[in-house]
Structure 1
Amino acid sequence: MLLRHLIGRSIRKLRTAQGRTLREVAETAGVSLAHLSAIERGLAEASSEVIAAISRALGIGLGELLDEIRHHTHEYEARGSYTLAA
């Protein structure tokens, strides 16, 4: 599991828990719908600026988003599920 997958999974979990659409969060964050979708699916790397914008769009602090990412990281570390990028 690559870090970009963990970031995307965390963002999607938080977004869906709020009942928000990709379009709504993308517009609020100032990123394209396609880019947010690619980030959530682990297909695109998100810059620190984009991650901060997404956390603001979700109405949470950057620390809270990073805590969610850390939670997912610990789950995968316990399973030894990391892979190297091709």
Structure 2
Amino acid sequence: MANTKLPGREQILKRMWKLANAGAQDAVRLACFPEEEWGSLEGLDLDALTEFKRGANGVIELKFADRGRLLERLLDAADHSGEEQVDRFLKAMEEKGE
């Protein structure tokens, strides 16, 4: 049975940061060059690519992860972690005073 342990908060935030900063070079390479020139797909960094379409008429469509939304969520996560730390500190101070 495969390990199904969920990633921790830090791992998720690191993954979001990586996606927000991912380049498009390999996706463009995938779209612009014939299949025989792709090389190994395993070597391509396509993490941010969410959709790839190549129409019969030659039109190529690439869609990527929404960087702006990822950054907003990272900012939100950073803000909430600070609030949690403040709440824990205040709770600890209240317990100490009792």
* TM-score, structure 2 normalization: 0.27
Larger Rg: 2
**Greater helix percent: which structure?**
1
Bigger RCO of structures 1 and 2 (CA < 8 A, at least 6 apart)? 1
**Greater strand percent: which structure?**
2
